[in-house]
A and B are shown apart, each in its own frame.
Chain A
Amino acid sequence: MMPILISAAPLGLNLIEILIHLFNILILVVVVRFLLYKPIKKFMAKRAQEYATQADVAEQTTGEAKELKEKYENLLDNAKKEAVKITEDALAVANANADSIICEAKKKASVIIEKAEEEIKIKEAEEKESMAGAISELAVAMATKIIDREFRQKDNDAVINLLVGEWKKG
């Protein structure tokens, strides 16, 4: 068996070098932590916070907008209903007015017609009166001619008037 040599450390293991490396790593970690890690993390956290706040605000605004939308939709619905109601009311009133106007017009028309009919009757009566005179004269003339004798108006009035009266009735 060969004697074991206590030679240089295997692979150059060296305690002082390890300590230097440890010191190096310590400085590196501290520098990177304070110059890179923390500021970037802080920036990212701040941005995440901002985004969260923005999301909250957006959510709130959306909620408010929805509420407003509902409110305005309700208002619009109400307004539409009111408009329909107003139109209907107006239509009803107009119809009623029209009806009353038509009714009045009909009444007026019937009055006018009645008046006209009365006037016609009066005129008819007058015409008949005047025509009766003319007829009686004509009859007297005719009778005079027929019997060739002059009747006096006064004598014949009784007979003729009787006839004329019957004609009027007829």
Chain B
Amino acid sequence: MYSLLGGKFTDFWRDQFSDAFSGGLGHAVDEAINPDPVSFFGLEVNPALYTAIIISAIIIVFAIILRVFVIPRFKKNPKGLQLILESMIGYFDRSAVNTLHKKHGGFVGPFIFTMAMFIASGTLIELVGLRPAFSSINTCFASGIAAFIVINICGFREKKLKRIKRYVPNILNLMSDIAVPLSLSLRLFGSIMSGFIIMELLYSTVFLSFAIPSAVAIITTFFHAVLQAYLFATLSVIFTQEAIE
């Protein structure tokens, strides 16, 4: 059902692009948008799922190493890795707690911190040649839905049934609620996919495939990774604030 217009739309532009660039570039874009599915326990999935799982595994291993070897040796005067960790967690914690107070900030803070790390590393992994985790619409929707769940948990904790009652006088509230995960996921998908497509195009053209990608990757990968991570975290906090007010 949901594929009726979207599929037609992408097919049309893919064909247009393929005609314009006589196959080579068109194929690169096609490969970027619709990669060959890979098997995941017998299920045909987008390879970005593997990237997401690899990223998660890396983050988890990193977290375990930090927890076991680094955190017990924290000093009063932070330096190096400790300073980076403290600054990051301090930033996300402040932005959550200052906006949502302690009641919800303690719950939203870890979520936005994790999502920011996940988005940043899931995009930066493109630099080592893997498909960025957020180049699949499924990853982005999952992130949007996760944010939606967090926002609504906070909303219900604060407002109880009033959160549902507000749909009765104005049904538009329902649409604005549904728009939140959609906007979060599609923003993420659009920016990271666009960067990924640009990189794929560069690599698919022989005379552009050396030296230039390293310069372009700063904008299409580094910039997007940090910006989208920051945006996702900030917007999650802002939407949660709207839900509890």
- Taking beta carbons and an 8 Å cutoff, which residues of A are in contact with B? 4-14, 16-22, 24-29, 31-33, 35-41, 43-44, 47, 50
A35-B37 contact given A5-B8, A11-B6, CB 8 Å threshold: no
Q: In the docked arrangement, what's the CA distance between A21 and B89, Å?
A: 24
Given contacts A32-B110, A37-B89, A41-B89, is CB(A11)–CB(B34) below 8 Å? yes
Q: Of A12, A32, A33, which one neighbours B34 at CB under 8 angstroms? A: A12
Contact A28 B56 (CB under 8 A): yes
The secondary-structure label for the interface of chain A is helix
Question: What chain A residues lie within 8 Å of B45 (beta carbons)?
Answer: 14, 17, 20
Return the chain A residue nearest B110 by Cβ: A33
Q: Kindly state whether residue B138 has any CB partner on chain A within 8 Å.
A: yes
Contacts of A19 in B (CB 8 A): 142
Q: Cβ of A12: which chain B residues have Cβ within 8 Å of it?
A: 34-35, 37, 46, 136-138
A23 to chain B, nearest CB (A): 9
Residues 1-21 of chain B, each 1 if its beta carbon lies under 8 Å from chain A, else 0: 011111111110000000000
Not counting A17-B142, A24-B142, a sample of 6 additional A-B residue pairs whose C-beta atoms are within 8 angstroms of each other reads A12-B136, A14-B45, A16-B43, A18-B145, A21-B142, A43-B74
Closest Cβ of chain B to A1, distance in Å, is 11
Please state if A25 and B8 are interface contacts (CB–CB under 8 Å).
no
**Binding site of B, secondary structure by majority: helix, strand, loop or mixed?**
helix
The 25 listed contacts between A and B (C-beta, < 8 Å) are A4-B5, A4-B8, A5-B8, A6-B3, A6-B4, A8-B7, A9-B3, A11-B6, A13-B137, A17-B136, A17-B142, A18-B141, A20-B49, A21-B138, A21-B139, A21-B141, A21-B143, A24-B56, A25-B115, A32-B117, A35-B66, A35-B67, A36-B113, A39-B67, A44-B86
In Å, the complex CA distance between A14 and B145 comes to: 14
Q: Is residue B52 contacting chain A, with contact meaning CB distance below 8 A?
A: yes
State A37–B136 Cα separation when bound (angstroms).
28
Quick check: A22 and B137 within 8 Å, CB to CB? Answer: no
Contact between B9 and A10, CB atoms less than 8 A apart:
yes
B145's closest neighbor in chain A, by CB? A22
Q: Which residues of B (199-219) have their CB < 8 Å from a CB of A? A: none
Complex Cα gap A10–B11 (Å): 9
- Given the complex, which residues of B lie within 8 Å of A16, measured CB to CB? 43
**Nearest Cβ in chain A — how far from B150, in angstroms?**
9
Residues of A within 8 A of B66 (CB): 35-36
Q: How distant is A147 from chain B, measured CB to nearest CB, in Å?
A: 137
CB distance from B26 to the nearest CB of A (A): 17
Q: Which 5 A-B pairs have the closest CB atoms?
A: A21-B142, A10-B6, A33-B110, A17-B138, A35-B63
Chain B window 50-65, contacts with chain A (Cβ cutoff 8 Å), 1 for yes, 0 for no: 0011001001100110
A47 touches B76 (CB 8 A): yes
Interface status of B118 (Cβ within 8 A of chain A)? yes
Contacts of A17 in B (CB 8 A): 43, 45-46, 49, 136, 138, 142
Give the residues in chain A near B35, CB-CB below 8 Å.
12
